[in-house]
Structure formats: structure tokens, C-alpha cells
Amino acid sequence: MRRRQAREQALRALFQEEFTNALGEEDLPEDPYGRELVQGVEAHRGEIDRLIEERAEGWPLERLHSVDRNLLRLAIYELLYRPDVPPEVVIDEAVELAKKYGTERSPAFLNGILDRIYKEKLVQEPNPEPEPQEKQQKEQTP
């Protein structure tokens, strides 16, 4: 099964959980990757939701469209806990799913938040230039 399908299964499971307030074993995706996504979101929901609230300025979590909220949860989990998936792929997949399941504004909204989290959390800043004294010492050292 392709990962996009696994993500769709995970989105459906998280969406369903919001309405039933429960997620039973039978509700988890069949695909192992989709199952891992749901379980990962559940395990890190507090941290993920905090990141969403901090970056969705003016939009409390409960006021976000449920598809957007759950797509953000899935994508943030992948960004932070799945280093084997390139961040660009995570963001692109979330945007594509937002086009399919979200509102007209969902793709741009998700892209903005996810890009910001990616840059803040994952892009390492270049090493600063050494202080002039350190630079001289390094140049003199054979």
C-alpha cells in the first residue's frame, strides 16, 4: 500500500476518534504505516497540539476545521518523529490531502504552519563564524 493511502486511513481514524471519543483496535488503519501514524499522534498529542496552537495564531485548536487539525497532527508527527521521510514530502502530502478533504483555504493554511514548524524545529542554523581570536588560533594551528 502506498503511504498516501496509509495517511488517508490514518486521517479517517483520527477524524472518527474526534466524534466517538474512542479509538478501538478495529478503528486503526489496516496498513502498518497508517497504524503507526495514528498511534504516534496519540502518543505525542499534547506536544503536537501545543505546536499547532502556538503557530495557528488567532485560531484555538477546537476552532480549526477537523480535517485541518488532524492533517496537521499527522504531518507534525511525521516531521518530528519520522526522520526517514523527507520534510518536503511530508508537507507536500499534507497539502495534497488538504486539497482533497479540506476547505478551499486548507492547503495554504497547512503549508504555512508546517513550513514554519519545519524551519523552526528541523532546519539547523549554520555554525556561527568563530570569534576573531578563535579564528586566529585556528589559522596558526598546523
pLDDT at site 1: 58
3-140: CATH architecture: Orthogonal Bundle (1.10)
Using the predicted structure, report yes or no on whether residue 6 has a pLDDT greater than 90.
yes
Q: Tell me which H or E stretch contains 125.
A: none
Residue 56 to residue 39: CA distance in whole angstroms: 24
Q: Which residue has the higher pLDDT, 104 or 120?
A: 104
Q: Is the pLDDT of residue 126 over 50?
A: no
Of 72 and 25, more confident? 72
What pLDDT score does 20 carry?
87
99 Cβ contact partners less than 8 Å away, ≥ 6 residues apart: 106, 107
